[in-house]
């Protein structure tokens, strides 16, 4: 379940409807898609795309996306830190960044035109759209794992444009999760934590 934190206001939002209301003025949208019962844990990329083809087709017609793929990242991924370092500093894209998280977790920080920086922690079942031109950056959570569907309008357009604003250094990549919200709970996938990207 996605969560939002606004560090400068010491505010957290976990209710899905409140998350949607919070994101809407910034042009972001959030949807929750079922994962349990839809796909096996070890489903292939093709099986994932097939399972979610109705939703993907609906998004394609809604947002002008022409292609979708599945990306798999884990702590064993060669060159993981180099890959993460491309996206963990403030940047924009020329097209929307749309991600449906099948497994694992991550955190998008957004630096909106109006208002303080906020963080969206995404986990299994969360679909988030970060519109083109939105100032943002991304980190993995402590499990350093994410498997997600990506939608593209034009794959060549999905390159980061850096702002050279070191604002990301002011915000620790803290991922909200069950153990963060309930101190003392057993650690689990997506538990709150800080990723060491150094």
Rounded to a whole number of angstroms, the minimum distance from the CB of residue 107 to Fe ion is 12
Query: What is the Cα–Cα distance from 96 to 30, expressed in whole angstroms?
Result: 13
Residues from 69 through 98 that contact Fe ion (CB under 5 A)? 97
| Rounded-to-10 torsion of CA 157, 103, 131, 139 | -80
Residue 60 or 132 having the CB closest to Fe ion: 132
Residues 6+ apart with CB under 8 A from 99: 122, 127, 128, 148, 149, 150
Q: How many residues bind Fe ion (CB under 5 A)?
A: 1
Residue carrying the six token digits 């022409």:
66
Residue 28 or 51 having the CB closest to Fe ion: 28
Residue 58 or 159 having the CB closest to Fe ion: 159
The DSSP bridge partners found for residue 13 are: 4
Binding characters for Fe ion, 96-125, by CB under 5 A (x = yes): -x----------------------------
Residue of this chain nearest to Fe ion (CB atom)? 97
Interface positions with Fe ion (CB under 5 A): 97
């Amino acid at each position: 379940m996605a969560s939002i934190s606004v560090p400068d206001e010491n505010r957290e939002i976990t209710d899905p409807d409140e998350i949607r209301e919070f994101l809407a003025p910034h042009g972001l949208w959030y949807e929750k898609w079922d994962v349990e019962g839809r796909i096996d844990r070890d489903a292939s990329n093709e099986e994932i795309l097939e399972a979610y083809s109705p939703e993907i087709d609906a998004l394609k017609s809604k947002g002008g996306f022409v292609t979708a793929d599945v990306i798999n990242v884990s702590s064993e991924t060669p060159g993981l830190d180099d890959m993460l370092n491309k996206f963990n500093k403030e940047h924009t894209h020329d097209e929307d960044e749309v991600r449906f998280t099948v497994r694992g977790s991550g955190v998008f920080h957004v630096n909106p035109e109006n208002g303080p920086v906020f963080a969206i922690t995404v986990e299994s079942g969360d679909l988030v759209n970060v519109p083109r031109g939105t100032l943002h950056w991304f980190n993995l959570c402590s499990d350093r794992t994410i498997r997600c569907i990506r939608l593209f309008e034009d794959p060549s357009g999905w390159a980061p444009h850096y702002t050279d604003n070191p604002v990301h250094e002011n915000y620790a990549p803290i991922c909200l999760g069950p153990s963060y919200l309930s101190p003392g709970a057993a650690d689990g996938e997506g538990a709150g934590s800080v990723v060491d990207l150094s």
